[in-house]
Amino acid sequence: MAAKRIQSIAVMTGGGDCPGLNAVIRAVVKTAINKYRLNVWGVRDGYLGLIENRMERLAYNDVSNILTVGGTILGTSNTANPFRFAVQSGPRMQYKDVSDRCVRVLAEGGIDALICIGGDGTMATAAEFAKKGLTVMGVPKTIDNDLYGTDVTFGFHTAVTTATEAIDKVHTTASSHHRIMIVEVMGRYAGWIALYAGVAGGADVILIPEIPYEPQAICDYVLERSRRGKRFSIVVAAEGARAKDGQMVVSKRIAGSPDPIRLGGIGPVLADQIAECTGLECRAVILGHVQRGGTPTPYDRTLATNFGHTAIELLMKGQKDHLVVLKDGRLSSIPLRRVAGRIKTVPHNHEMIRAARAVNTSFGI
Ligand code: F6P
């Protein structure tokens, strides 16, 4: 039997926001209306809007003037998983599978396909919906750049730019005060932002989750620089960095969230450790959500536009349950089931690590 022709689609943004989400929404909506005359619906606040049936029609003009705007006009949520939806019951949290409700909401709205713009959590849920018979298409988002299957996610380039600008600014104050400055960037399980911003900003030490560090090695390195007359050092640490015999620094736990752990605070921990073992003055700066804001860079705008357009083209060609990816410089797609539950970490032999080592950057080991 021939696949049903797609006439109506819904689009949603899930997980943490990132620069370029609006550029994808714009490309999806404009391509769908302009080229294929589809009906387009926007789901509010990620999967939460699906659970609560909060959708609205999107017209061509609704996506005008949003290409350069950070955030998402649809809103997002990183705490709602329809297959394990947290409901407060007295003092306790109960988890319910409300995925059938979401399928019903889409069916009743006459929606033939759902475009899910998100990271690993959003794609894992999209893959579950695909198993239930929904036609879904994923678009890879996250500043962390850790989504499996794609060389790059949109948002990453902007976050690296923001982090690099911050490192550049920290550099001058570090040098004026002869201090060790630690810049903590985002990156829970993958250190892509720390690696790229660290290299771009000329960090002396880069700490990433993939390479657990030895505090003494950092201190030795900084003291050696000091002996050579370099009276300041810049350490860039991913929030998920941890010592060889230590744990990640958890700042809070969000009850009911699919991934309840929120990191943050490795910077001040390192500042204390390095101050103690070197006797040098240390300060820490946590960049946090600043990295998720702002206008997307031209690279992210173009990548996001390509991803959004490709998502519609693939759907109209009859493809479903795939993630649009950029692989070896080419736009293509891979099945969502291959993405679910995996993340793309930095390989120890990555060319950027080799380049950083070649210019004498320490990874704290
Ligand atoms: O996944 C993107 C990300 O920005 C991570 O780098 C960070 O750990 C997390 O989201 C923060 O989440 P929240 O917005 O809930 O604080």
The secondary element (H helix, E strand) that includes residue 234 is strand 233-238
Q: Whose CA is nearest to atom 10 of ligand 1?
A: 16
Q: Whose CA is nearest to atom 14 of ligand 1?
A: 16
Is 158-293 the same fold as 8-154+296-339? yes
The b/e string for 162-175 (b: 16+ C-beta within 10 A; e otherwise) is bbbebbeebbeebe
In CATH, what number does 8-154+296-339 get? 3.40.50.450
Overall average pLDDT of the 70-88 stretch:
94
Ligand 1 center from residue 58 Cα (angstroms): 28
- Residues lining ligand 1, Cβ inside 6 A: 16, 78, 119, 142-144, 186-188, 239, 262-263, 292
Domain residue limits, the chain: 8-154+296-339, 158-293
Ligand 1 center from residue 16 Cα (angstroms): 6
Of 276, 166, 181, nearest to 231 by C-alpha is 181
Ligand 1 center from residue 148 Cα (angstroms): 17
For residue 153 the two structure tokens come to 């996610």
> Among 120, 123, 154, 188, which residue has the most ligand 1 atoms within 8 Å of its CB, making it the best to mutate?
188
Of 198, 141, 171, nearest to 350 by C-alpha is 198
Ligand 1 center from residue 104 Cα (angstroms): 30
For residue 248 the two structure tokens come to 């990640």
The more confidently predicted of residues 186 and 1 is: 186
Q: Whose CA is nearest to atom 11 of ligand 1?
A: 262
| pLDDT on residue 2 | 57
Using one digit for the tens of pLDDT, what is the confidence trace for 257-277? 888 999 999 999 999 999 999
Overall average pLDDT of the 306-314 stretch:
98
Rounded-to-integer distance, Cα 162 and Cα 295, Å? 10
Cβ within 8 Å of residue 64, ≥6 positions away: none
Main-chain dihedrals φ then ψ at residue 112, nearest 5 degrees:
-90, -25
Using one digit for the tens of pLDDT, what is the confidence trace for 146-187? 999 999 999 999 999 999 999 999 999 999 999 999 999 999
Ligand 1 center from residue 304 Cα (angstroms): 20
Main-chain dihedrals φ then ψ at residue 255, nearest 5 degrees:
-60, 135
How many residues in total does the chain contain? 365
Overall average pLDDT of the 319-324 stretch:
98
Q: What letter would DSSP give residue 3? A: P
For residue 268 the two structure tokens come to 């001040």
The residues that are catalytic are: 144
In CATH, what number does 158-293 get? 3.40.50.460
User: Does residue 33 carry a pLDDT above 60?
Assistant: yes
pTM for the model stands at 0.96
Q: Which atom of ligand 1 is nearest to the CA of 146?
A: 1
Q: Which atom of ligand 1 is nearest to the CA of 187?
A: 6
| pLDDT on residue 89 | 87
Overall average pLDDT of the 3-9 stretch:
88
Using one digit for the tens of pLDDT, what is the confidence trace for 338-348? 999 999 999 99
> Among 141, 249, 292, which residue has the most ligand 1 atoms within 8 Å of its CB, making it the best to mutate?
292
